């Protein structure tokens, strides 16, 4: 029996996923919103987290796995993320968080079930429809500093405020913004923010 914890912040979608997976006799399925999933992991630990890609922060995902839970549980739960195509930046974040499985939310339900079984065995599972996005994710053009500057700009912060926040000169911030705009092919700062958010980098 594979213990599965479905993590999604939207109750209706979470309930639908649970109903779908409970039709599989080999799966023992429970659910949680992103806010409570991390706490629940200390009860009966799942073999597989099935998490919407927007819930990774709530799971405490870091570069070495699903939060600190893998250091405290008898086994390391596998992470399978639900995502959509054309989000290479989000896929990169999930990969850095240690996700083993990647299922397209627009795909067939059977692909999710197949993915759960595969990651429960410790094997990687990638929906074919996401292959091009993985290729794009490997080419993410922005440096961490450029991303941080662009993220502050996306919140509407002016140059001088970004400079104070990052302890850099205004000229340096302008250079980072110019580089980010050029690398993503934007026309201006707002266009660069739009492109980066659309790709899931911000």
For 180-200, how does the pLDDT look when each residue is reduced to its tens digit (9 = 90+)?
999 989 999 999 999 888 877
Q: What is the pLDDT of residues 25-42, one digit of tens each?
A: 999 999 987 655 655 554
Q: pLDDT digit string (tens) for 81-112? A: 999 887 777 888 888 888 999 999 999 999 99
> Taking phi first (over 0 means left), then psi (-120 to 50 degrees means alpha), and beta for anything else, what does residue 147 get?
alpha
Local structure of 198: helix, strand or coil: helix
Quick one: pLDDT at residue 69?
Answer: 42
Verdict on whether the full-model pTM lies above 0.85:
no
Residue pLDDT, tens place only, 146-161: 988 998 999 899 999 9
Taking alpha carbons only, the member of 116, 95, 142 closest to residue 20 is 116
């Amino acid at each position: 029996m594979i213990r599965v914890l479905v993590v999604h912040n939207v109750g209706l979608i979470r309930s639908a996923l649970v109903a779908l997976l409970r039709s599989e006799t080999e799966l023992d399925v429970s659910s949680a919103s992103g806010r409570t999933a991390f706490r629940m992991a200390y009860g009966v630990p799942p073999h597989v987290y099935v998490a919407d890609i927007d819930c990774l922060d709530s799971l405490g995902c870091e570069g070495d796995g699903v939060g600190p839970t893998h250091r405290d549980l008898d086994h390391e739960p596998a992470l399978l993320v639900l995502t959509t195509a054309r989000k290479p930046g989000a896929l990169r974040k999930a990969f850095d968080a240690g996700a083993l499985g990647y299922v397209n939310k627009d795909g067939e339900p059977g692909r999710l079930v197949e993915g759960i079984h595969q990651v429960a065995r410790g094997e990687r599972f990638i929906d074919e429809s996401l292959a091009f996005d993985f290729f794009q994710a490997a080419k993410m053009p922005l440096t961490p500093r450029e991303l941080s500057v662009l993220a502050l700009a996306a919140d509407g912060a002016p140059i001088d405020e970004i400079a104070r926040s990052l302890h850099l000169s205004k000229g340096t911030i302008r250079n980072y913004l110019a580089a980010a705009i050029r690398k993503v092919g934007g026309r201006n700062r707002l266009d660069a923010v739009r492109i980066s958010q659309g790709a899931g980098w911000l």
